[in-house]
Amino acid sequence: MKTTMQESFLHFLWRSRRFDAKNLHTTQNQSIEIQQVGEQNTHAGPDFFNARLRIGDTIWAGNVEMHLRSSEWLAHGHSTDPAYDNVVLHVVLEEDQPILRANGERIPCLELKTRIPPKLLENYERLEHEQAWIPCEHFFRQVPDIVRLNWLDRLMIERLELKTTAIAEVLQATENHWEEAFYRLLARNFGLKVNADPFEALARSLPLLTLAKHKSSNVQVEALLFGQAGFLEDKHKDEWPNELAREYRHLAHKYGLKPLPVSQWKFLRLRPASFPTVRLAQFAALVHQSAHLFSKILETKNLRELENMFDLRPSAYWHNHFQFDKPSIKREKPLGRDFIHLIVINTIIPFLFHYGKKKDLDEPQKRALLLLEELPPEANTIVAGWSKLGVPARHAFQTQALIQLKTRYCDQKRCLECAVGNAILK
């Protein structure tokens, strides 16, 4: 039987029981009763664990393996892998040869090629071969609102949990020091995508405790950040960077600091307001103005309070510079509301959510979700794409869910794992 079907479609059919299950029997004509389909395994080993089946007169508890053709059992090396010794049923699209256990017994096989509803198969093939912006572009709005909205709610939580994975890793690296972990992730997100890695490396090489000792002096905070970032190694024309360099040399000797290579910072194709030098100056202003920042964030009640906390200006030198030694038109360089909102979405909300989960506190988790509903919808190509499909977003909760849907499901054609895709595959 020729097909472009993926094995994942068999997984979908099995776990959702979306095939003709009347008078099930093995290819050797033994009756099959599915009592439990088992738990899908996403790691190495059989596809479903702990299934419960009646085959003939015997009830079996064990694993289920799936292939498009039964011969793939041999091609994948399962016949010599002990992990497959407990397979009680081999589910295939087509049995092209019998498969035996190591002891010579034939493994019961269920063939599905005549049991798939034609309409279901037709819709699957359309989704699988669709080249539109999303596979279900022509069906998405036909799915009931309750299905789409409930799925987007789940996707938002999924996206938050995905972000908290990185937080958990940093917490482990900092021995559960919440302020230090927040400082590191905040620094990373100050760099956005282009300079995220050097910003994170800078924060790792310059502990928050060291900066906190000098937070009362803006000169010393800037000296530590710019010096450790590698921007003060060369002689400058302007007095401000030279003053910072003198201060940094003293502090570097005191704390045993070694600057990072300045070559890692990227300026190309960035707007001047997003140059790493400007972001570092803004970050220095934040450190200078705020002690125990994460603790203060835990005390905030709404978006307005967070916006006020991040409403800051870098030192006077940066009013007419985007880089050292290169004067520009005088203009203050606040963080900007859009940038603050990105920080809230990518740093503050995931931290609040994770903190609530780790401490078993509902209030921080609820506040994280409420903040997403307070934030305006994000403006990016993905959100614009959904809008063109007639799926507008009212706030950041919805845009984050739509980004998760597009990047983690639609782009990867995981329609079989998507509630919308499942609703289309009738």
Q: Hey, is 187 helix, strand or coil?
A: helix
| pLDDT score of 3 | 55
pLDDT in tens, 301-313: 999 999 999 998 8
pTM: 0.83
Tell me what the pLDDT averaged over the chain comes to.
Answer: 94
| pLDDT score of 126 | 87
Contact 321, 263 (CB under 8 A): no
Q: Is the pLDDT of residue 333 over 50?
A: yes
Provide mean pLDDT across the span 7-31: 95
| pLDDT score of 385 | 96
Residues in Cβ contact with 110 at an 8 Å cutoff, skipping those fewer than 6 apart: 24, 26, 27, 32, 89, 90, 91, 92
Q: Is the pLDDT of residue 154 over 80?
A: yes
> What are 233's strand-pairing partners?
none
| pLDDT score of 128 | 86
Provide mean pLDDT across the span 241-248: 97
Q: Is the pLDDT of residue 4 over 80?
A: no
Residue spans of the domains in the chain: they are 7-116, 157-374
Contact 259, 201 (CB under 8 A): no
Provide mean pLDDT across the span 60-80: 95
Write out the two tokens for 49: 């664990």
Q: Which of 126-130, 174-178, 198-202, 257-261 has the lowest mean pLDDT?
A: 126-130
Write out the two tokens for 242: 């030279």
Look at residues 208, 199, 251 and name the one whose alpha carbon lies nearest to residue 227.
251
% of the chain beyond a pLDDT of 70 = 99
Provide mean pLDDT across the span 280-299: 93
| pLDDT score of 289 | 87
pLDDT-based confidence at residue 363 (cuts at 50, 70, 90): very high
Q: What are phi and psi of 106, to 5 degrees?
A: -80, 130
Q: Which of 92-96, 125-129, 175-179, 215-219 has the lowest mean pLDDT?
A: 125-129
pLDDT-based confidence at residue 1 (cuts at 50, 70, 90): very low
| pLDDT score of 104 | 87
Look at residues 314, 280, 293 and name the one whose alpha carbon lies nearest to residue 202.
280
CA distance 312 to 290: 10
Exposure string of 187-219, with b = 16+ CB inside 10 Å and e = fewer, is bbbbbbebbeebbbbbbbebbbeebbebbeebb
